[in-house]
Amino acid sequence: MHPDTFGLRGVLELVADKWAILIIYHLHDKTLRHTQLKVLLSGVSTRMLTLTLRRLEQNGLVRRKVYPVTPPRVEYSLTPLGSTLVEPLKLLCAWSENHVEDVRVARIAYEVRAQAEAAALGEPQNG
C-alpha cells in the first residue's frame, strides 16, 4: 500500500476524480441505482462507474444497499461523510457552469498562440 494512501494526497485523488465528483453530486439527497447513475453520467463506462462506486464505498463516502430479491437490486446513497462534500462540490459545479465560456475562450486563444509560435519557429502545425 502506498504510504500516502490515507494522507492528504490520497483523499484529494479520491474526491477530485471527475466521476466521483459527479456521483456525489447526483446522490445528494437521493438514492439511486447503478443504471440510474449510468444515465445521469453520460460517457461513463459501466466498468468505470462500478470501480468508482466501489472506491467511494471503500472510503466511506457512499453506502451500497443490496436487497435480497431476484434479480438483485442495489441502491447507492451518500454516507454522512459523503454528504459533507455536497456543498463544496456545488460551489465547484457552479463555478464550472459560470466559467464554461471563459475556459472555452482561453483554450481557443491558447491554440492560436501555439500555432503562431509553431509557425514562427518553422515547426509543422497540427490540425
102 and 56 within one domain: no
* Residue 58 sits in the same domain as residue 5: yes
Total-model pTM: 0.76
Answer with the one of 82, 103, 118 that is the final residue of a domain.
Answer: 82
Q: Is the dihedral of CA 54, 58, 62, 67 positive or negative?
A: positive
77/91 same-domain check: no
Owning domain of residue 103:
85-127
In a shared domain, residues 60 and 92: no
Full pLDDT tens readout for the chain, 127 residues: 455 556 888 888 888 888 999 999 999 989 999 999 999 999 999 999 999 999 999 999 999 999 999 988 999 999 999 999 999 988 988 999 999 999 999 999 999 999 999 888 887 666 5
Q: What is the pLDDT of residue 90?
A: 86
C-alpha closest to that of 89 among 64, 65, 63, 61 = 61
Write the CATH number for 65. 1.10.10.10
Claim to verify: residue 76 and residue 23 sit in the same structural domain: yes
Determine contact, residues 80/87, Cβ cutoff 8 Å: no
Q: Give the number of other Cβ atoms within 10 Å of residue 17's Cβ.
A: 16
Mark whether 24 and 38 lie in a shared domain: yes
Please check whether residues 7 and 69 belong to one and the same domain.
yes
Spatial separation of the C-alpha atoms in residues 85 and 87, rounded to whole Å: 6
Q: How many CB atoms lie within 10 A of CB 109?
A: 10
Grid coordinates given for 74: 442495489
Residues 76 and 99 in one domain: no
Q: How many domains does the chain have?
A: 2
